[in-house]
Chains A and B, each alone.
Chain A
Amino acid sequence: MSEDTSLGWRIFKVVNYIVLGAMALLAVIPLFHFFAVSLSDRAATMGGLVTFFPIRPTLASYELVMQAPNFFKSLVVSLERVVLGTILSMAVTILTAYPLSKTRKVFRGRNLLMWLLLIGFFTDWGLIPWWLTIKNLGLMYTIWALIIPPAMMPYNIIIMMNFFRDIPSELEDAARIDGASHWRRLLSIYMPLSMPAIATLTLFTIVFHWNSWFDGMVLTKDISQQPLQTFLRGVVIGADLAGLGLAPETAQFVNYSERSIRAASVFLAIVPVLLLYPLVQRYFVAGARLGSVKG
């Protein structure tokens, strides 16, 4: 491609690089600032002195949050829901997508199920009916309330189904002639060939469960059942440090900065995302394209 060398275009290019660079910095600056706050001492954070570098660095806030019993309880709930929720959701996704990827002749009722799925996807009965249904099913106040209701993800099923459909049918035909059942075909042909899609959807589901906080707020009994993000909401948004559940002798907040305690809690909650993010970013982008470009 030949490049435009006019003065106007060259000026545009310089401005373009500067604006894009500034936008990229702007996207991460709040995190850097908050990280610096989480590591600074009380006087520095309360005096509004911290910008991008910690002042008189200390791990005190992190130590305090990690001692908090409620922090660990909620971390366990979060891990539980991430593991169980992701396994259940991916199983349902793959198992539902496979029959849907067949033709009406092979899977009679395929179009009916597809319409049920799409209509379900686009109707939303509202918060109260959702809440009442979960209550009436007896899931309320159990970990299953956070795992079972969101397990069927129509969007993921449609992406998975499209991926299965793209696998050349000759492969399946050969297996079928050899007498392989649908189970075997799914396990030995379709799933191994769909690993990129499965990996992407698994990551999406993990992030979904890790980040969910509202269900943890209205479907749990008390703080001991809340996942990390819900617990964090009490501390960070509700500004209620009592939620940490620290023993009175430890909770001498005069020695700490409430700002840096909040910042430290936030950082402990996003460390997994920050660590995984650079490694898995391309999968997320691939996933966003899978969902959006079709059509």
Chain B
Amino acid sequence: MASRLASAVPRQGGRAKKDRSTSYLARSWPLYVMALPGLVLLILFSYVPAYGILLAFQRFNPGLGVSGSEWVGLDNFKYLLELPEFWRIVSNTFIIAISKTVMLQIAAVLFALMLNEVRSRFFQSTVQTMTYLPHFMSWVILGGLMIDMLATTGLVNRFLGIFGFEDIYFLGSNDTFRPVLVVTYLWQEVGWSAIIYLAALTAIDPVLYEAAAIDGASRFGQIQHIILPGIRTTVLLVAVLGLGNLVDAGFDQVLNLYNPVVYQTGDILDTWIFRSGLMSAQFSLATAVGLIRSVVRLILVAAGFWLANKYTDYRVF
């Protein structure tokens, strides 16, 4: 199925000649009716919210609305730049997001390479089924699970206790909170993220292996000279198309695992926007932070697509 889609290119022309007895609209109006609901939703929820960024340049008062609130120019941004807390959430976001993205890609590639060496179909699919499972659970569920497992009386500390470790309060210490985020994220996503690399591995021409074997290459040699070059493009693509994720440290995960004690290392842009905007009703400041985040993300996404276009034959559609 995947390969059929991979070859999908726009078919230009190729249709039979137009029926000239009817006008374009008489034939084609259903297409416009079909597209209408999607277009309306798209405009309402992807374009209309754009006016909301005006709040970032106001001292927004919900009672007065956007038109009635006082305009303050760049004051909100100036205030943010001088706020130590702002720089803390910026650096937390990048540190957490970069660690998660880099570690996940490395782990997923290794996992795919390892699975690819398994000859037993049954073992392979069992491992896959089991490792995909956490991907389908929300962070409310996983958060509940982790809070219980990582508590001082939890399973992890009981296990470590066997080896004589003191109890560690994983979610209540600034030394351990970020590593916990990274490890639990890998735990959730490694299997699922490996799918794309497994697909790339199965696409490698078996003739290459035969030829290498005849030349006397060991399996390690084949991995080095056939397999790694074979998945290079995929690895590169995933990396550049994921650039936008560098401002996304994982709102769902952090909001369900953090607590005020670990704000120092764990508070990120999205959780701060949520707390200051919707909990404390500081709409303008939260919108300003959101706007900065969106602009950086857009630049990263655009850069990612530009790179993908330049160095591979990737096209969006």
Q: Mark A13-51, 1 if CB is under 8 A from B, else 0.
A: 100110111011111101101100100000000001001
Q: Is A91 an interface residue (CB 8 A)?
A: yes
Q: How far is the CB of B159 from chain A (nearest CB, A)?
A: 9
Residue among B49, B128, B146 having the largest count of chain A Cβ atoms under 10 Å: B49
Is there a chain B Cβ closer than 8 Å to A142's Cβ?
no
Q: Which of B28, B42, B153, B191 is packed against the most chain A CB atoms within 10 Å?
A: B42
Per-residue B-contact encoding for A266-295, CB less than 8 Å = 1, 0 else: 100110010001100100111011101111
Q: Is A162 an interface residue (CB 8 A)?
A: yes
Contact at A211–B206, with CB atoms within 8 Å? no
A151 touches B41 (CB 8 A): yes
Given contacts A281-B132, A285-B195, contact A23 B111 (CB under 8 A): yes
Partner of B31, one of A1, A3, A92, A98: A98
Instruction: Tell me the complex Cα distance, A126–B49, Å.
Output: 9
Cβ contacts under 8 Å, B42 to chain A: 116-117, 120, 152
Interface residue ranges of A104-135 to B (CB < 8 Å):
105-109, 113-114, 116-133
> Closest CB of chain B to A264's CB: distance in Å?
11
Interface size on A, residues (CB 8 A): 115
In the complex, what residues of A have CB within 8 A of residue B148's CB? 34, 37, 259, 262-263
Q: How far is the CA of A21 from the CA of B283 in the complex (A)?
A: 49
Majority DSSP secondary structure for residues of B touching A: helix
- Most chain A beta-carbon contacts within 10 A, residue among B41, B46, B52, B140: B140
A236 touches B191 (CB 8 A): no
Q: Which residues from chain B contact A114 at a C-beta distance below 8 Å?
A: 317
List chain B residues, Cβ under 8 A from A86. none
Smallest beta-carbon distance A139→chain B, Å: 10
Query: Cβ of B63 < 8 Å from any Cβ of A?
Result: no
Q: Which residue from B1, B131, B146, B192 sits with its C-beta under 8 Å from A286?
A: B1
Q: A120-B42, A125-B290, A129-B49 known; 6 other A-B pairs, CB under 8 Å?
A: A99-B34, A103-B10, A128-B52, A169-B14, A229-B138, A232-B144
Q: Which 7 A-B pairs have the closest CB atoms?
A: A129-B52, A126-B290, A120-B46, A96-B38, A236-B144, A4-B219, A211-B138
5 CB < 8 A contacts A-B: A16-B118, A132-B52, A262-B148, A273-B136, A281-B129
